[in-house]
Amino acid sequence: MIRVAVVGAAGRMGGRIITAIKEAEGLELGGAIERPGHAMLGQDAGSLAGCGPLEVAIVDSLEEGLKSADVLIDFTFPEVTLKNVAVCARLGKMIVIGSTGFTPEQRAEVAGHARKIPVLLAPNMSVGVNACFKLLKEAAQILGDGFDVEIVELHHNKKKDSPSGTAVRMGEVVADALGRDYNKVANFHREGMCGERSKEEIGMQTVRGGDIVGEHTVYFIGMGERIEITHRAMSRDMFARGAVRAATWLQGQAPGMYDMQDVLGLR
């Protein structure tokens, strides 16, 4: 039995992940962690998630929450995850990271800890989005420099980071395939007399509102024709199932950085 702890247990993703653990074969919830002072501390994590009591109370100490766990699933925020991955490295526990919004420096810090433990970091755990990454690479290679690339993402009004981690990865995949540096060609802002569009830039647009789970469209816009590759998430459950699949896949892996492309055999 693989014992999984969940940090951010009372969050939108935390509850879905706890339910996915309960529904999965060969896994059980080993710990549930929330931030100090959280109103749900002491509550049964399963009851709070809506999947029935699991006899695991939500605690505010990561060390305590990890005592009966082999692997941690972390869907929180970069600053929180950085502290958590350091604790996991110290305790020799594996970690699956779904948090988004990392700077390149923060990603490098996570990778430093991956010298000691297996770390899976993926901005999107869904099979569909990971298939899209492959489709985008191929589309960019076929279409080349003759098509302008624009990326639009839509999310709920509670999302804190922008653009989404998925949109950033889509931009990186397309930029790589076109031989460009994403950090140099991403254009996040057009306003006023900003001039004609450059050939190299990749436009990154963000929409926030209501309860949209997550939608991403990459436009390849040519002269007289346009290709759109879109992924729409209808619920958070496939992200949660992806995270649980990743936690299972990590068992027995050597220390290092992995992502969902490894889990799904898409490398």
Ligand X SMILES: O=C(O)C1=N[C@H](C(=O)O)C[C@H](O)C1
User: x/- binding map, residues 206-235, to ligand X, per CB under 6 A?
Assistant: --------x---------------------
- Please check whether residue 17 is in contact with residue 236, taking contact to mean a CB–CB distance below 8 angstroms: no
Q: Which of 159, 184, 199, 231 is catalytic?
A: 159
Q: Which is nearer to ligand NDP, 63 or 145 (CB)?
A: 63
Q: Least distance from C-beta 251 to ligand X, angstroms?
A: 24
Q: Is 11 annotated as a binding residue?
A: yes
> Per rule CB under 6 A, is residue 72 in the interface with ligand NDP?
no
Q: Name which position in 30, 165, 171, 242 contacts ligand X (CB under 6 A).
A: 165
CB 232 within 8 A of CB 9: no
How is residue 207 annotated by DSSP? Answer: E
Q: Which contiguous run of DSSP H or E holds residue 175?
A: helix 165-177
159 is a catalytic site residue: yes
- The 3-state DSSP composition of the chain as helix, strand, coil percent (nearest 5) reads 40, 25, 40
- Which residues ranging from 62 to 101 are in contact with ligand X (CB under 6 A)? 100
248 a known binding residue? Answer: no
Q: Which helix (H) or strand (E) holds 249?
A: helix 237-250
Copy the structure tokens of residue 241: 């199932």
Judge whether 200 is annotated as a binding position: no
Q: Is 155 a catalytic residue?
A: yes
Q: Which residue has the tokens 């029935």?
A: 52
* Residue selected from 149, 166, 173, 180 as contacting ligand X according to rule CB under 6 A: 166
The site string for ligand NDP over 7-36 (x = CB under 6 A, - otherwise) reads xx-xxxxx------------------xxx-
Q: For residue 122, state whether it binds ligand NDP (rule: CB under 6 A).
A: yes
Partner that binds at residue 80, options ligand X, ligand NDP, none, CB closer than 5 to 8 Å by kind = ligand NDP
What does DSSP assign to residue 145?
G
Known binding residue 10? Answer is yes
- Render the burial of 54-90: b for 16+ CB within 10 Å, e for the rest: bebebbeebeebbeebbbbbbbbbbebbbebbbbbbe
Q: Which does 155 bind (CB under 5 to 8 A by kind): ligand NDP, ligand X, none?
A: ligand X
Is 208 marked as a binding-site residue?
A: no
CA 267 – CA 257 distance, rounded (Å): 13
CA distance 180 to 177: 8
As annotated, the active-site residues are 155, 159
Question: Residues within the annotated binding site for (S)-2,3,4,5-tetrahydrodipicolinate?
Answer: 156, 165-166
Binding site for ligand X (CB under 6 A): 100, 123-124, 155, 159, 164-166, 214
